[in-house]
Structure 1
Amino acid sequence: MLTTEQKELVKATVPILKESGVLLTDYFYKRMLSGNPELKHVFNLANQRNKKQQTALAMAVLAYAEHIEDPSVLMPVVDGIGHKHVSLNIRPEQYMIVGKHLIASIGEVLGEAATPALLEAWTAAYNQLASIMTGHEDGLYHQQVQRPGGWSGWKPFTIKKKQKESSEITSFYLVPTDGGPVADFIPGQYLSIRLFIPELGLLQPRQYSISNAPNGEYYRISVKKEGAPEPNPDGLISNRLHSHVQEGDIVEVTAPAGSFFLKDQGDHPAIFISGGVGQTPLMSMLEALIRTGSKKPKTWIYGCKDIDAHAFKDQLELWAKENKEVSKHIFYDTPPTPPHTEQAYQGWVDLDLLDEAILAPNADYYICGPAPFITKHMKALLEKGIRREAIHFEEFGPQTLSFNEN
């Protein structure tokens, strides 16, 4: 339990964290992965390389320091991080390793400013945070194993089918190698997949949204082939799935997780906004609504570079044709030319080009994509008077975005 004096010491480090938080977390990760190289099998090296993981941790530590008097206000953040950790099979004993290196890093980076009292305060603060996180994650693990067919940790799955969806995206259909049942999930959630990378001599995990509605038969992930060449960590697993993994191969998978999912409440409209491979969790949501016979209006707003890169185009056309409640608004950087008949806007997704009646004030909005995409459309919706609590988003990779709920 933190004393009042310890809380004040932690809060006093807020200016330092604001100015040098990423410097501290970058030092911390290098120290930890050097001292405990086995954790290289756990952490996404691409997110280490591009500093997204360091930035996300710095923001989390800062938020915790700022709310040290009442950490309960951070529960939405704790929940999101907890789902990520459970998906990566993070366990309580690993928090002990992280704590050791984090406190040592604070002392080594701050130098003389890191007094024994300050380090003792941050040790108490970290132990409190670790207790909150592990307690929450224990509940999430429990939920996973309680589902019929649910499991904990890494489990072998077989690639039942590999299907090209566009010039960039390929789908992989996953079934349990042991022939067991396929556990249900909430539309919008994701899986972690782990592959051994010979070039690195490491196992590397990546998280991919499930792109189909629950069906009890398989999980489908739809993966974009990245432009970065191997063995560059960027796109390393995605590209390997495209080029090396074939039907019949076995991959390791963790149970579905994620706090971005369909809020299927009432008959008010659902509006889905995405670009590129960001459509994958939204495809799961839209299909689930259609499969359950929901009569609520469903609006699909989507953008990609050209018609050849448009995954699931035919499926969306079929859904819109067969369900009068489904409407779609497509944006292409390069518009199609005859004989294609696809009606599309030219350029990036721009909500200002849509009729105001499309953006219903009583709708739930779901946005998925990279941080700039989410920020742009979040701002546009708020400026149009849409309530913040009606806007839900998923940022691919470590969470670096935070929007006030009020």
Structure 2
Amino acid sequence: MFPPAARRILSRRIVASNALPRLFSTSAPKMALTAEQIAIVKSTAPILREHGETITTVFYKNMMEAHPSLKNVFSLRNQQSGAQQRALSNAVIAYATYIDDLGKILPVVERIAHKHAALFIKPEQYAIVGEHLMGAIGEVLGDGLTEEVAAAWTAAYGQLADVFIGREAELYKAPGEDLPVGWRKFKIAKRVDESESVTSFFLEPVDGVTPLPAYLPGQYVSLQVPVPGVEGLLQSRQFSLSEAQTADRKSYRVSVKREFTTPDAPIEDVASGKVTGLVSNILHGRYQVGDVVELSRPQGDFHVDVTDASKADAPIVLLSAGVGVTPLRAILDSVLEDPASAMKGRPVSWVQASRNRASEVFGAHVKELAARHENVSAKIFWDEIAEGDVQGVDYHFPSRLDLGALDAEKDLFVGNDKAEYYICGPVEWMLSVRKGLEGLGVPRERLRLELFGTGSLPEE
């Protein structure tokens, strides 16, 4: 069942799980992993793969009980659904697998670091995680955990924590700005309904200090609100900034889809995280002009640097479904109209999938831009067509997004080895689109997916 090396390791002397926290210390000098420890971590990766979700489930349960304030950091919904546990398990397994070649997981590390920075994860919290993670491994594996394995994994976790702490420290330093690190209060200056379920919130800083921190088009902010009826409980979600930034940067705009699956959910379900769309329902139903929310600085690794003149002629394909259009709207506007853009003539192919006219977000804006800019083409998919909808004017294809319906060269630029692809929508939809583009010969390194929720893909 396990590799021979792993079986030999697990046959040695065990360590009691209640002794594990003492093996982890953030105050102790960090030592590089030895070759033997690296070998141990790699050889025990299959064991973690088998027990990973059980370990992470125990880990989150124990940590939340010991440190209830961390409920304000983690999504209760992702905890309830098991998505958070699966994401952590997958990350730990990937780290163990590539511990001697960390370059292969750097994109995942970068994505997670941005998510952590958007939630203001602190260095001291890594010690808490380390203690409870090692404790959970000991609790689940029992007499299968030896001193050597425990020491190797403790050292490995310390190494990984240092990587995250260092990268997040860099992300907290906004270039050219001297603002404190932490949540900042913003008031809602305006609400605009973009579709039957999506509303844009225009947010201005309560302290009046501008310009606001700059962002790259495609990035997001974390928005935090108190949960009604649950004393002291805060929840945050990541929302893309849905417009190009202006020179004065006096406000941010986020466009939020209301999930209608749990309107008026019982407080006990809210508190346990059983509900879907918790924060979106709170925003849509309770927050009006003048109300105050808290925001993080912009973060995220899904973005375009419009000042990069080297990509001025490289085609960019923007594919979205539903509210996934929001970061792509910011990218489109920034490429075309940001004064700092060095790629205003860049070939842009906009491919958008919506259920119908009522659910389409930013449709009129995109069609207007495509009409004004020769370098922009737009192809719109609606899978519900009503009387009065005009093909070729309101929409192009009466179906869900179908890559086969598009021109492989004119719409998707599959023959251009410089073309870049930005994909945003539901996770399964993004995976399907990525698979389709790969089937057309587009290499994965040119395909970018935006991930919210746990920030992970099922296959990672």
TM > 0.5 fold call: yes
2:452 to 382, 396, 402: 396
Which residue is equivalent to 2:370?
Answer: 320
* TM-score normalised to structure 1 length: 0.95
Letter of the aligned partner of 1:224 in structure 2? Answer: K
Asked if the contact 2:423/2:448 (under 8 Å) is kept, the reply is yes
Q: 1:150 to 1:96 in 2, by over 3 A?
A: same
Which residue is equivalent to 2:275?
Answer: 233
Shift of 1:245: 0.6
Cα deviation digits, residues 35-54 of structure 1 (max 9, x gap): 11110011111111122211
Q: Determine whether 1:364 maps to 2:394.
A: no
Which residue is equivalent to 2:101?
Answer: 70
Inter-partner Cα distance in structure 1 for 2:371 and 2:101: 51
Q: Determine whether 1:355 maps to 2:384.
A: no
Q: Determine whether 1:218 maps to 2:251.
A: yes
1:155 to 184, 195, 214: 184
Shift of 1:290: 1.5
Which residue is equivalent to 2:56?
Answer: 25
Cα deviation digits, residues 12-54 of structure 1 (max 9, x gap): 2211222221221112111111111110011111111122211
* Greater CA drift, 302-311 or 321-330: 321-330
Query: Aligned-residue CA RMSD in angstroms?
Result: 1.7
SS of 2:224's equivalent in the other structure is strand
Letter of the aligned partner of 1:81 in structure 2? Answer: I
SS of 2:185's equivalent in the other structure is strand
Asked if the contact 2:312/2:345 (under 8 Å) is kept, the reply is no
Inter-partner Cα distance in structure 2 for 1:373 and 1:104: 37
Inter-partner Cα distance in structure 2 for 1:280 and 1:104: 41
* Greater CA drift, 222-231 or 78-87: 222-231
Q: Determine whether 1:135 maps to 2:181.
A: no
2:320 to 274, 293, 303: 274
Inter-partner Cα distance in structure 2 for 1:308 and 1:392: 28
Which residue is equivalent to 1:176?
Answer: 205
Cα deviation digits, residues 54-111 of structure 1 (max 9, x gap): 1111111001111122334422221111000000000101001000100000000111
Inter-partner Cα distance in structure 2 for 1:396 and 1:237: 14
Inter-partner Cα distance in structure 2 for 1:94 and 1:50: 23
Which residue is equivalent to 1:373?
Answer: 429
Letter of the aligned partner of 1:88 in structure 2? Answer: L
Asked if the contact 1:212/1:283 (under 8 Å) is kept, the reply is yes
Asked if the contact 1:186/1:262 (under 8 Å) is kept, the reply is yes
Asked if the contact 1:107/1:114 (under 8 Å) is kept, the reply is yes
Letter of the aligned partner of 2:255 in structure 1? Answer: S
Which residue is equivalent to 1:333?
Answer: 383
Asked if the contact 1:147/1:184 (under 8 Å) is kept, the reply is no
Spell out the pairing of 1:245-284 with structure 2 (5 A cutoff): 245-264=287-306, 265-284=311-330
Which residue is equivalent to 1:243?
Answer: 285
SS of 1:160's equivalent in the other structure is strand
Inter-partner Cα distance in structure 2 for 1:149 and 1:269: 37
Over 3 Å off, 4+ runs: 147-151
Q: 1:336 to 1:184 in 2, by over 3 A?
A: farther
Asked if the contact 2:382/2:395 (under 8 Å) is kept, the reply is no
SS of 1:386's equivalent in the other structure is coil
Which residue is equivalent to 2:222?
Answer: 192
Inter-partner Cα distance in structure 1 for 2:78 and 2:325: 21
Q: 1:291 to 1:47 in 2, by over 3 A?
A: same
Runs of 5+ consecutive residues of structure 1 not aligned to the other structure: none
Which residue is equivalent to 2:72?
Answer: 41
Inter-partner Cα distance in structure 2 for 1:2 and 1:339: 63
Runs of 5+ consecutive residues of structure 2 not aligned to the other structure: 1-31
SS of 2:324's equivalent in the other structure is helix
Percent identity of paired positions between Structure 1 and Structure 2:
41
Which residue is equivalent to 1:119?
Answer: 150
The total of aligned residue pairs comes to 402
Shift of 1:348: 1.5
Which residue is equivalent to 2:443?
Answer: 387
SS of 2:256's equivalent in the other structure is strand
Shift of 1:117: 2.1
Inter-partner Cα distance in structure 2 for 1:147 and 1:260: 22
Spell out the pairing of 1:75-90 with structure 2 (5 A cutoff): 75-90=106-121
Inter-partner Cα distance in structure 2 for 1:344 and 1:110: 56
Cα deviation digits, residues 128-171 of structure 1 (max 9, x gap): 111111011111112x2x34475521011111111110001000
